[in-house]
Amino acid sequence: MNLGMMKQALEMRSKLEKAQKELAKKTVEVETGKGAVKVVANGQLRILSLKIAPEAVDPKKAGELEKLVFKAVNDALDAAQDMAAKELNQITGGLKIPGLT
């Protein structure tokens, strides 16, 4: 590997590390069931909060609430992954690097 390529690789690594830190600060919010369940996730695919509206809690309809929670969590993680992929794609120029979104 020549010196120029090594320098470019180190620069990209530095930019990727910075982007990963920035993604930890960026969030997406998703709600399901007309606001019955709200989930916030960050760009590192971590769930930061999960809120359930009191009126959504009905012991007779626990199965429905479970479905709403699963959908909200999965939608939030999908949205966070899309956000992260867009951010990292700007740095990598579309280059597929193992371990990144």
| Domains of the chain and CATH, by start | 21-85 (3.30.1310.10)
pLDDT tens for each residue of 41-54: 999 999 999 999 99
- CA 22 → CA 15, 18, 44, 60, distances in Å? 10, 6, 9, 42
In 3D space, the residue among 38, 76, 70 whose CA is nearest the CA of residue 54 turns out to be: 38
Residue spans of the chain under pLDDT 70: 1, 97-101
**Under a CB-based contact definition with an 8 Å cutoff, are residues 51 and 37 in contact?**
yes
pLDDT at residue 88 in the model: 86
pLDDT at residue 4 in the model: 84
H or E element: which one contains 96?
A: none
